[in-house]
Structure 1
Amino acid sequence: MIFGGRFADAVFGRKQLFALIALIATGAGFAVGMSSEKAIWEGWVTDRLFQIRALVVGVDRQERAPVLVVGLDQTSLASDRLAPIPRVLMTPVLAEAGQAVLDAGALALGYDFVFAYSADDFVDPSTGDSRLSGFDLPFQRFVYQNRGRVFIAHTEVGVPHRTFSAAAGQGGVRSVIVSTDSDGVVREHTPSLPLSQSPHLVDAVLGLAEADIGKKYTAIPSARLATSVPYLSLIDVLDLLESEQGRAQLERFVEGRVVLFGGLLPYEDEHLYSDRFLPPQADGAVETGPSGPPRVQPQTAGVFILADLVASALSGRVAFEPPAGFQPGLAIVFALTGALAGLFLPLSLLPVVAVGGVMCGLGIGLAGLEFGILPAPGAAPVAFVSSLVLAGVGKVGLLQRRQRSLVRLFGHYLAPDVIKHMARSEQLPELGGDTRNVVVAFIDIVGFTKMSERLADTDVVRVVNACFDEIGKVITTHEGYIDKYIGDAIMAVWNAPNSVEEPERAAVDASIEIIELLDHLRVITGQEQLDLRIALNQGPVLVGDIGGEHRRSFTVMGTTVNTASRIEAVAKDKKVRLAVSQSVAEKLPGTYRALEIWTGQLRGLSTGISVFTLDRPEMFMEPTDSLPAPNTGDSRSRLVRFPS
């Protein structure tokens, strides 16, 4: 999270952080969602929407499809009639078939062929004679006589021979170039108005069919085009002309339709189209001639794409871009919803919610198709997921901030290690605990009773708090843990709940530093007579939680604690500021000179114990020229130095 640590804690409250994260996540989700519009993968999603629609709705059933395709396919080229004719010499056949189609009642006729060569230009290489002179005349005459109803094609690299262009006249040669999206797939068409003057063949036949369309649209196929567009093989048209019954059948095929002629040979004039993921229609579900439907190929023949662009516009099977503001508004709604979900729902649910948001966004796109609207299918889902993820990350940051705050706040009451463990496990520790060897300290303010008699209650609290604050800093610095405050005393522990490498040395070092603070404590409290007494003992204790399910406390318990409390009485009797048990003294390095001040049996204990202090002047509350004697009847003091 970018607003981490104490800075965020100081500047932002919880509600403000939630609002800020929601705002940032919503804005970022909206920006990412809108930037995905027209992304290369978005077309793939659109095609999948068409696939889902086809599975849910099924194939669009029309009373009569408005476009018929006549194909120069392998069946035609292999027929007895057309097999001897080279493809470049098919113009008389195409003229015959074209005239038959117009006579049968076609509204318009388009040839998806570039007639780039004329037979008039072919000569016999051995004699130089133009034996095919006039061969193309029937087709030229046919095109000329049907100007305005018949159109021939040109592409980016191919234009008709000048004789065909002249026969077609102005407006008779139109472009069959199709526009692809960024992923190379054909999905949409932008008409040029007026349609009659458009350079596109699609627009020209739409104009003759009196189509009411004037803006960019996306065709919505519902099945593979090779199995859903009415189809006749070129040889079927020629064969139907052979009989009266056949001509009547041809009329039923053609009347009132736009007819497009095109090549269907494999790997010639094929494109990726948005029908590529759609299922084929069952055999017999589409109108075909005696030769049957064409073969379904991996890619879609160009003439079928032209046919679908025309048929979709004539039948209303199209989708337009949504109104201005619809797409940004939808992205904002999804981004905001994702941000709120990321902030307020459990983290474990977010993957499921992300999938649900994506499905909802795609569902809106799918529903839009039924109303003729195609919003960018990726914008809303991407906006939702982006804001969801960002808000989820922000929520994790908030939870970490909350955990830090809890550790910091409750660290004044409990050990930070205990709080961190509870925060990680999200549950209370078991009642009871473990046995560990620790050093227990009792630090007492000397003369507190007399001081409290002559000071106001508020001054007493101020003095105690000032002392405890300074002493607590030292204890924490030396890896100690303040177990509890007992009136004017502090009970501290080393090696629980944290681990301390040399707890005895750490406790003694902390005690020395606390005693050295005496002058500073007297200044800040204004109590010149203030003094301290510290008792240390080392041994096994029970470390853990005590209490019940409703209230509990983390502490240490055992004989070691009681012994430390009794040692404080020895310190008071011997007028020393620091008294340590032998179990502490013998663990100190050799540089620490330990002085035995008492030996015997403490009240409540069954065994004897020796008590020591450090051989330093500041450890004694009263100046002394001679070392105090131990409580053994020996009048001489003994200086004990323990080796490291």
Structure 2
Amino acid sequence: MTFGGRFADAAFGRKTLLAVIASVAVSAGIAIGLSAQGAIWEGWVIDRLFQIRALMRDPQDTVPAPVAVIGLDRTALDSERLAPVPRVLMAPVFAEAGQAVLDAGATALGYDFVFAYSADAFVDPVTGEARLKGFDQPFQRFLYQNRGKVFIAHTEIGVPHRSFTAAAGAGGVRSVTISSENDGVVRRHLPHPPLSQSPALIDALIAMTGAEVSQEYTAVPSWRLATSVPYMSLLDVLNMKETEAGKEKLRRFVEGRIVLFGGLLPYEDEHLYSDRFLPHFPLEMSETGESGRPWVQSETAGVFILADLVGSALSGRMAVAPPPGVIQVLAFGFAAAGALAALFLPLFAMPLVAAGGVALGLGLSLAGLDYGLLLAPGVAPVACVSAMVAAGVGKVGILQRRQRSLVRLFGHYLAPDVIKRMAQSEQLPELGGDTRQVVVAFIDIVGFTKMSETLADRDVVRVVNSCFDAIGQVITRHQGYIDKYIGDAVMAVWNAPNTVENPEQAAVDSAREIVDLLDHMRSITGQKSLDLRVALNAGPVLVGDIGGEHRRSFTVMGTTVNTASRIEAVAKDKKVRLAVSQSVADRLPRSYPIKEIWTGQLRGLSTDLTVFTLDVPEMYMENTEAAPDGSSKSGSGKLLNFPR
């Protein structure tokens, strides 16, 4: 099988590995991304998206709230009117305020209080007298007369007194229990259709408006509830009902709205809610009474949360889960993008791609809120990054390791740069090539013919291989490329296929180091007569693949190569170990002791050529000494210092 066929097989194997790694990475990304849905940190991300959305909105765009809150706050409790009244004996006060609100046009009332104690049941422990008999009748009467429009609360551990339950009727007592998510924050509500028969107060109040909500939803607040929900102190309601002007203000505040009564004392019935990172609503734009609003606490009062869960459903300010399959498609798309980016983009681009994937995923989730969809914000970013990491590990651990093995294996036959390009492109280069300025070297083992006559073939091969190995190490160290071995000679190139900053100097330095290895090579081969000749020439050559579709070779061709081969004859004639053309000498630093040794026409060339060597003792063959005047005994020449 030809080399091309073997490499094609390897390339096909790489494509298969790419497909396998991509499949595994995408699968891992999808699995890990989907596992992020409902993760404990996902709620934090959702709340931050609410924050970003709120910062992008204008307070002027806020629609009128369908739910208002009347609070039993510190201002009311400390007032002259209510300070003497114990909190457990405030049922008549709530009846008075509630009737005023209904008369003002409220759609329905909900009390976020568990009226577990009835004053009617109080008996003097000393006399046994029922001293508060009839005290709660106003509230009981109020509940009975407004059945279907007024609801009182029960919790998991607290229920109203049986007298209030009886007055409110079968549907008048509803649960105010709200459920937090795994991070302890309240965000969602799960309705129980039909809403009018639901045990939840939220559902009952929604049903009073004729609205229908059938699936779990997440409320999408825009501001801190304590600053944005229409709010009035219980004291303000009691005061406004006393005057016609006050009644008119109360009407404007509650008409057409659902009203919730609840406690607003600090640290009582407070919960973490998804409004915790939101900005405060401008005070001058908030709806409130003369007593103002309570302080904004780190947590949110339960009655405000109930109001927001009801109000978000009525105003469309909610987000539901997308249709089945959307999240899975989103996870697949981001996982595929992450895997492909890791496989085909450079390593330095990965952080940017990861950041872009996270930003895009969060951006889609943010945009989804405007369409009433909660696109689990953790899925897409995690899928993208996870697939990218998995593909990156596969690329580094399998593909690049395989590519390095391929380069190391075939690097004994071809230039590593050529192997890398073929491995990356998965195909053989086109025949032909490009013209480049290079330095070509011919390094000849002197006396090889005589040596081969006296040694066995195996010993000849051992000697040649030892020499070629030592020479090849020096060439490679100086960024040269061994083009081919020609019998007992080495042909090397600088500046192809790789790029060398100063190829002429690198070639001459390499030649000097190779000559310095003569004693070492004589020692390891046992051939005392072994010697070397190096010929260098610089110029343009054709660099590329030469041959046919079934057999080819990466090499350099052109007059520059032929000239370098001819210069070796000058080195032989002048008995020097290094001979370089003027095109090489002109590019050497001035510190190099350049000496002209020959000028004339080489065989096959039509123009004169000047050949030089380095005027140092080791560059002259044995039994050839440099003359005191700078000329060698074996050839006429002079030491030149010409501009370079």
TM over 0.5: yes
Measure, in 1, the Cα distance between the counterparts of 2:275 and 2:575: 91
CA RMSD of aligned residues (A): 4.6
Between 9-18 and 292-301, report the one with greater CA deviation. Answer: 9-18
Deviations 1:475-502 (A, max 9, x none): 8699977967653326699xx99x99xx
Deviations 1:146-199 (A, max 9, x none): 222111111122121222222222121111111212111111111101001101
Residue of structure 2 in register with 1:488 after alignment: 487
Deviations 1:219-248 (A, max 9, x none): 111101111111111001100111111112
Q: Secondary structure at the match of 2:109?
A: strand
The alpha-carbon distance between structure 1 residues 489 and 85, as it changes in their structure 2 partners (threshold 3 A), is same
Taking the TM superposition and a 5 Å limit, the aligned residue runs for 1:84-99 are 84-99=84-99
Q: Is the contact made by 1:270 and 1:300 (CA closer than 8 Å) also made in structure 2? A: yes
Residue of structure 1 in register with 2:276 after alignment: 276
Q: Is the contact made by 2:271 and 2:299 (CA closer than 8 Å) also made in structure 1? A: yes
Q: How far off its partner does 1:467 sit?
A: 8.6
Q: How far off its partner does 1:285 sit?
A: 0.9
Q: How far off its partner does 1:310 sit?
A: 0.6
The alpha-carbon distance between structure 1 residues 445 and 45, as it changes in their structure 2 partners (threshold 3 A), is farther
Measure, in 1, the Cα distance between the counterparts of 2:347 and 2:36: 26
Residue of structure 2 in register with 1:402 after alignment: 403
Residue of structure 2 in register with 1:367 after alignment: 367
Residue of structure 1 in register with 2:495 after alignment: none
1:343 aligns with 2:371: no
Q: How far off its partner does 1:23 sit?
A: 2.3
- The letter for the 2-side match of 1:280 is H
Q: Is the contact made by 1:28 and 1:387 (CA closer than 8 Å) also made in structure 2? A: yes
Measure, in 2, the Cα distance between the counterparts of 1:508 and 1:78: 110
Q: Secondary structure at the match of 1:324?
A: coil
- The letter for the 2-side match of 1:89 is L
Deviations 1:582-604 (A, max 9, x none): xxxxxxxxxxxxxxxxxxx9667
Q: Secondary structure at the match of 1:271?
A: strand
Q: How far off its partner does 1:136 sit?
A: 1.8
Q: Is the contact made by 2:485 and 2:491 (CA closer than 8 Å) also made in structure 1? A: no
Measure, in 1, the Cα distance between the counterparts of 2:438 and 2:241: 99
Q: Is the contact made by 1:148 and 1:171 (CA closer than 8 Å) also made in structure 2? A: yes
The alpha-carbon distance between structure 1 residues 20 and 604, as it changes in their structure 2 partners (threshold 3 A), is farther
Residue of structure 1 in register with 2:388 after alignment: 388
Taking the TM superposition and a 5 Å limit, the aligned residue runs for 1:436-515 are 444=448, 472=465, 487-489=486-488, 511=525
The alpha-carbon distance between structure 1 residues 331 and 288, as it changes in their structure 2 partners (threshold 3 A), is same
Q: Any unmatched runs of 5+ in structure 2?
A: 1-5, 424-436, 476-481, 493-509, 544-554, 557-567, 578-619, 627-644
Q: Secondary structure at the match of 1:85?
A: coil
Residue of structure 1 in register with 2:106 after alignment: 106
Residue of structure 2 in register with 1:56 after alignment: 56
Deviations 1:18-60 (A, max 9, x none): 3333222222211111111111111111111111111112348
Residue of structure 1 in register with 2:173 after alignment: 173
Measure, in 1, the Cα distance between the counterparts of 2:179 and 2:367: 26
Residue of structure 1 in register with 2:412 after alignment: 411
The alpha-carbon distance between structure 1 residues 166 and 465, as it changes in their structure 2 partners (threshold 3 A), is farther
Taking the TM superposition and a 5 Å limit, the aligned residue runs for 1:447-596 are 472=465, 487-489=486-488, 511=525, 536=530, 547=538
Measure, in 1, the Cα distance between the counterparts of 2:294 and 2:161: 29
TM-score by length of 1: 0.69
The alpha-carbon distance between structure 1 residues 107 and 534, as it changes in their structure 2 partners (threshold 3 A), is farther
Residue of structure 2 in register with 1:70 after alignment: 70
- The letter for the 2-side match of 1:489 is D
Q: Secondary structure at the match of 1:147?
A: coil
Q: Secondary structure at the match of 2:223?
A: coil
Taking the TM superposition and a 5 Å limit, the aligned residue runs for 1:116-131 are 116-131=116-131
Measure, in 2, the Cα distance between the counterparts of 1:113 and 1:304: 13
Q: How far off its partner does 1:115 sit?
A: 1.3
Q: Is the contact made by 2:463 and 2:525 (CA closer than 8 Å) also made in structure 1? A: no
Q: Is the contact made by 2:33 and 2:383 (CA closer than 8 Å) also made in structure 1? A: yes
Q: Is the contact made by 1:444 and 1:488 (CA closer than 8 Å) also made in structure 2? A: no
Deviations 1:399-450 (A, max 9, x none): 4543443343233356x89999xx9xxxxxx999xxxxxx99779477989x
Q: Is the contact made by 1:26 and 1:336 (CA closer than 8 Å) also made in structure 2? A: yes
The alpha-carbon distance between structure 1 residues 129 and 547, as it changes in their structure 2 partners (threshold 3 A), is farther
Q: Is the contact made by 1:107 and 1:258 (CA closer than 8 Å) also made in structure 2? A: yes
Q: Any unmatched runs of 5+ in structure 1?
A: 1-5, 424-429, 433-438, 450-463, 513-532, 569-600, 608-644
Residue of structure 1 in register with 2:551 after alignment: none
Residue of structure 1 in register with 2:624 after alignment: 605
Measure, in 1, the Cα distance between the counterparts of 2:262 and 2:247: 21
Q: Secondary structure at the match of 1:296?
A: coil
Measure, in 2, the Cα distance between the counterparts of 1:341 and 1:549: 40
Measure, in 1, the Cα distance between the counterparts of 2:129 and 2:8: 94
Measure, in 2, the Cα distance between the counterparts of 1:141 and 1:8: 92
Q: Is the contact made by 1:442 and 1:490 (CA closer than 8 Å) also made in structure 2? A: no
Q: Is the contact made by 1:60 and 1:222 (CA closer than 8 Å) also made in structure 2? A: no
- The letter for the 2-side match of 1:405 is L
Measure, in 1, the Cα distance between the counterparts of 2:525 and 2:313: 92
Taking the TM superposition and a 5 Å limit, the aligned residue runs for 1:134-283 are 134-283=134-283
Measure, in 2, the Cα distance between the counterparts of 1:174 and 1:473: 96
The alpha-carbon distance between structure 1 residues 467 and 158, as it changes in their structure 2 partners (threshold 3 A), is farther
Number of corresponding residues:
515
The alpha-carbon distance between structure 1 residues 444 and 394, as it changes in their structure 2 partners (threshold 3 A), is farther
- The letter for the 1-side match of 2:67 is V
Between 151-160 and 256-265, report the one with greater CA deviation. Answer: 151-160
Residue of structure 2 in register with 1:572 after alignment: none
Q: Secondary structure at the match of 1:284?
A: helix
Taking the TM superposition and a 5 Å limit, the aligned residue runs for 1:311-350 are 311-350=311-350
